[in-house]
Amino acid sequence: MCLSLPTRLSRRTRLSVRKDVGLLALRVGTGGVLFAHGAQKLFGWFGGHGLSGTGSAMEGMGFRPGRQSALAAGLGEAGGGVLLALGLATPAAGAAAAGAMAGAVSVHAPAGFFAQSGGFEYPAFLGFVAAGIGLAGPGRFSVDHATCHVLDRPWVVGLAFTGSAAAAAAVIGRRQAATREQGDADASADAGE
């Protein structure tokens, strides 16, 4: 027997479909951008520097060890981006991407808010969108929905975001300590001249 679709959808059904299409667009767009940034770090794609180049740059920004920091940031962005786009393990994907963006915000914060002056506007926006998707859920047009939300349980949301926040706080704290030490060393060297 064939399934037949109703010729007229109720207002509630239309709104539900619009919400799911909107979540799909947000997931694919945000996930694609995050994947591209992560692929720059991991593989040198899209004009990136790969793990070695990104690791050296991250070491210079106070993320030590630089190569492992580049790997973690790249996996958070690329892995989180792919999972967000698919709508798979959505809370963990959103948390991973938001955590990676928190690290980027810490680098750009001294330049202020706006992106045109090197500020943190863009990574903050990506992080908030990723977190919002992780919290709201992926919608009907997702792998999570197709698999009965096996990897999208309420307890996963709390665990994923708590773990991501703790990891981001630890990484940012270590970076701030390293940049303070470097600043103190530079000041001592300048005073000794």
Which tens digits make up the pLDDT trace of 151-185? 888 888 889 999 999 988 888 888 888 888 776 66
pLDDT of residue 191: 66
Considering the domain boundaries, does residue 83 fall inside one? yes
Considering the domain boundaries, does residue 133 fall inside one? yes
Average pLDDT of the residues in 39-50: 97
Considering the domain boundaries, does residue 3 fall inside one? no
pLDDT of residue 174: 85
Considering the domain boundaries, does residue 16 fall inside one? no
Residue 29 belongs to domain spanning? 22-187
Quote the mean pLDDT of the chain.
90
Considering the domain boundaries, does residue 172 fall inside one? yes
Are the CB atoms for 69 and 58 separated by under 8 Å? yes
pLDDT of residue 179: 80
Considering the domain boundaries, does residue 36 fall inside one? yes
pLDDT tier at 1, thresholds 50, 70, 90: very low
Considering the domain boundaries, does residue 192 fall inside one? no
pTM of the model: 0.84
Tokens 């665990």 identify what position? 159
Domain count, the chain: 1
Considering the domain boundaries, does residue 43 fall inside one? yes
